[in-house]
Structure 1
């Protein structure tokens, strides 16, 4: 008990160099402890040697899993029912806030030199941004039906304002152009307001006339004439850049409405030729184009702005000179806070800042097209896609001429450039996109099924209503199908007592016509692609149990044909040929006896009066004991179903 444990330097070592207790090398506990200590030390050295490789493998695995984790997070975010709505709100806030910061930085020097305050232009931009948020909220709240109802009056008011701004004394003349109204110190540009009105009215017009085989006149009139009138009024201001945006709106509307590619290409080529002519007609425009092409090399002339923008971008480098530290805004670059604000972004925030702006607009484009793709309402689909194309096209045209890929046109960078009316209208468009996002099917189910969120209750947002066709739209679709032989069938008469035959329509094509008594006539019948059908057996047709001329029917879900001599209502399924009659849908339209009266005991009698014991009698007065009688009054109660569009319900 009183023995002292020797220190490590006092303990003798055995032959293996392992110290033993009391210097005794035996099989006792000291030796065992020494050997186990040696093993532990060796294990520790081995673990220490393997630690770098294991940590490197873990780091590589973590690095490899980072993209997968990010992708999973993005998928989870986009799978939410309100993802589009939340993303469009986020992007609107980010772009508006970023634009206000850059306007303050880019306009401080010019504002101080002109007005004696570095915050003058920034304060005006803040006022229009606040007004834009109010308009954003109103566009978010407005019902879709009310929006469509006031689309045409809003377009009329916008055109009237475009005409009034050209009147001297009413419109304000600035820098040789008459484009603005000045109201209590705030300038309003009607050509910006007409963009929103044209997007809404054009989408409403084309959605009201949607058809698979719509004629060119229905697609182009009155959209193109009204757009040409708007372009004429804007050219008289003059304002070629806004004319280009109007052409972009009309082109997007016609593209998404289904204009044939050849016609669309001809319109696009005509628009480009007209734009070139207008650009070369005016002196300063032609100088800009020639300077872009390299034919004019005058550093102080038409190419001055583009050259200074290039210098600003080169001065920024990769990381930029710092926010607020730009030198180009010290009256070296004209309109630095407006048309060329992207050059100030590139100088102060560098290449990374410019790429960040491009990334924000790419994300906005994805969100806009996602909303358009997921919308079930044709009006919202057209409007969302057109608004997205307009905003993204303006952004990339502005970035293109700042970096030298396009000639200078004067189109602003949406929500980033200084411009009150432009900010107001872009926020209104984003509000319409947010409204369309709330009307996605999944969003409607979520907002109507559960309790509203705290933000929705605070903002008093109305519950969205699921899209449903109006009576006028449903009636128009039926008339279009009947007129053009849309998703319907055609009756083709059989010859030589061969009974009913079947002819299918190619998908997306017109229904085949048939010979019916007085020459070729098309009989529209219900048609459903890929449905199960039946037909009268051949032996029944030979016994005269079919119509005298027969009738081809195609596109039914399922039918059964009764036989004579059997119990009333008992049916025997026939084979599955190429066509049949859809008695669940019934016939539409009024017709006459094209096939004669059937006298058989069973079987279908197209367009004639049947007198058999059972079986359907389309468009005739049936007296059988069972079977539906479309468009006819059944003489006896139906054992298998109710009469269709006759005495029963449709």
Structure 2
């Protein structure tokens, strides 16, 4: 009778099962939200520890305060936690309102244009724009916005996505604009992540194989064109095949990274004892922080980081699955999209550190030094926790709105 009463009130069966577990006192596995919070917290602590170690030699060389990068990483973590709490508290229906999504997309495009016009060139690329006292990489915001925009699109235009090519052509118009803006910076890595997550969401939303295959073909042709007609990209794409054939030239970073992994062996040479961070591996606290971790903490340290990253991804996938079971498709696709971003960046960053992939300027989520990445990643966590909190409380009659 209790079950019938609960169903009559419009709540999903997931809420009932949770009530039963509490009443019987049976031991249950930690929730996806608990695992997500614990894993992200551990990664953030490890990030601060390793950024402090890896950045001090770089700071000394450039006459910067020794803990400058540590303090900035901590500051962006604080901002990210505040932003994550804000999106955790906001109503999910507001996030998927058409006006909100279109406005967010237009803001991203405007910021990308502003970056090209007013941004400072760093290492030959215009990827950052000054927003008051902060440098912000708009590509990170674009990832979050495109996941939510695509998740809403494949539900709202479900018939077009599953039957014919109307849906992909409409989305293609948006993607074409982004392609032009990202290649103008240039930021090929972020573009690959964004296109990859859009393809993944379209695929799980039921887009036919022929459509997905055609999109993948266009993506591969575009990637090949971008690589072949830019000498530095061609050099990066080929250098990892033999990372020691030009150790003082194109293979410098990759070779030094592999040396760091080799020195670390199983347990590492000891915290703070890295040799490669002493001007051998440039800006080791950024994209190659995992290599310094390998040198100082060894295989054990690297596996700890990668296992925590895997737990974050698994938690996001679990949240997506729960929303899918409750037929909250927008929420499910959003959580899935965030998981794909974490997978893509994790694989690329770890792969390039280990010499398995060409070097690319993508952070390891929640670990590498990078304010914009940390801020937006924590906002994604806030949205994931919001989904996890609300998905079992949404009345069955309203699931189609989510």
| TM-score, normalised relative to structure 2 | 0.88
* The one of 235, 248, 251 aligned to 1:287: 235
Count of residues in Structure 1 that have an aligned counterpart in Structure 2:
372
Q: Supply the distance in 1 between the matched residues of 2:170 and 2:281 (Cα, whole angstroms).
A: 43
Query: Any unmatched runs of 5+ in structure 2?
Result: 1-25
Q: Cα 1:313–1:163, aligned 2, differ >3 Å: closer, same or farther?
A: same
Q: CA deviation at 1:335?
A: 2.4
Q: Supply the distance in 2 between the matched residues of 1:276 and 1:421 (Cα, whole angstroms).
A: 28
1:438 equivalent in alignment to 2:386: no
CA contact (8 A) 2:264 2:296 kept: yes
Q: CA deviation at 1:374?
A: 0.6
1:412 equivalent in alignment to 2:363: yes
Aligned to 1:556: none
Q: Supply the distance in 1 between the matched residues of 2:42 and 2:171 (Cα, whole angstroms).
A: 34
C-alpha distance after superposition, 1:158-197 (max 9, x if no partner): 1111111111xx2112221111112343211111111111
Aligned to 1:326: 274
Q: Supply the distance in 1 between the matched residues of 2:27 and 2:228 (Cα, whole angstroms).
A: 52
Q: Supply the distance in 1 between the matched residues of 2:96 and 2:161 (Cα, whole angstroms).
A: 24
- Secondary structure at the aligned position of 2:62 is classed as helix
- Secondary structure at the aligned position of 1:318 is classed as coil
Q: CA deviation at 1:272?
A: 2.1
Q: Cα 1:76–1:319, aligned 2, differ >3 Å: closer, same or farther?
A: same
1:422 equivalent in alignment to 2:373: yes
Q: Supply the distance in 1 between the matched residues of 2:155 and 2:255 (Cα, whole angstroms).
A: 45
* The one of 111, 123, 138 aligned to 1:161: 111
Q: Supply the distance in 1 between the matched residues of 2:53 and 2:396 (Cα, whole angstroms).
A: 45
- Secondary structure at the aligned position of 2:116 is classed as coil
Q: Supply the distance in 2 between the matched residues of 1:357 and 1:466 (Cα, whole angstroms).
A: 38
Aligned to 1:223: 171
Q: Supply the distance in 2 between the matched residues of 1:115 and 1:234 (Cα, whole angstroms).
A: 33
CA contact (8 A) 1:287 1:296 kept: no
Q: Supply the distance in 2 between the matched residues of 1:344 and 1:171 (Cα, whole angstroms).
A: 30
Q: CA deviation at 1:217?
A: 3.5
Q: Cα 1:405–1:295, aligned 2, differ >3 Å: closer, same or farther?
A: closer
CA contact (8 A) 1:106 1:336 kept: yes
* The one of 267, 276, 294 aligned to 1:346: 294
C-alpha distance after superposition, 1:275-330 (max 9, x if no partner): 12212221211111221234992111111100000000000010001122111111
* The one of 303, 307, 331 aligned to 1:359: 307
Q: CA deviation at 1:395?
A: 0.6
Aligned to 2:95: 147
1:111 equivalent in alignment to 2:59: yes
* The one of 8, 27, 49 aligned to 1:101: 49
Q: Cα 1:153–1:398, aligned 2, differ >3 Å: closer, same or farther?
A: same
Structure showing greater relative contact order (alpha-carbon pairs closer than 8 Å, 6 or more residues apart): 2
Aligned pairs for 1:467-506 (under 5 A) are 468-469=397-398
Q: Cα 1:216–1:162, aligned 2, differ >3 Å: closer, same or farther?
A: farther
What RMSD over aligned residues (CA atoms) do the two structures have, in Å? 2.1
Q: Cα 1:213–1:232, aligned 2, differ >3 Å: closer, same or farther?
A: closer
| TM-score, normalised relative to structure 1 | 0.55
Aligned to 2:340: 389
- Secondary structure at the aligned position of 2:129 is classed as strand
Aligned to 1:612: none
Aligned to 2:246: 298
CA contact (8 A) 1:139 1:431 kept: yes
Q: Supply the distance in 2 between the matched residues of 1:102 and 1:250 (Cα, whole angstroms).
A: 33
- Secondary structure at the aligned position of 2:281 is classed as coil
- Secondary structure at the aligned position of 2:248 is classed as coil
Q: Cα 1:115–1:258, aligned 2, differ >3 Å: closer, same or farther?
A: farther
- Secondary structure at the aligned position of 1:222 is classed as helix
Higher-Rg member (1/2): 1
Aligned to 1:180: 128
Q: Supply the distance in 1 between the matched residues of 2:133 and 2:58 (Cα, whole angstroms).
A: 19
Q: CA deviation at 1:111?
A: 1.4
Q: Supply the distance in 2 between the matched residues of 1:163 and 1:467 (Cα, whole angstroms).
A: 42
Q: Cα 1:373–1:236, aligned 2, differ >3 Å: closer, same or farther?
A: same
- Secondary structure at the aligned position of 1:166 is classed as helix
CA contact (8 A) 1:224 1:250 kept: no
Aligned to 2:14: none
Q: Supply the distance in 2 between the matched residues of 1:249 and 1:468 (Cα, whole angstroms).
A: 29
Q: CA deviation at 1:470?
A: 7.8
- Secondary structure at the aligned position of 1:230 is classed as helix
Q: Supply the distance in 1 between the matched residues of 2:222 and 2:255 (Cα, whole angstroms).
A: 27
Q: Supply the distance in 2 between the matched residues of 1:305 and 1:111 (Cα, whole angstroms).
A: 19
* The one of 380, 384, 391 aligned to 2:331: 380
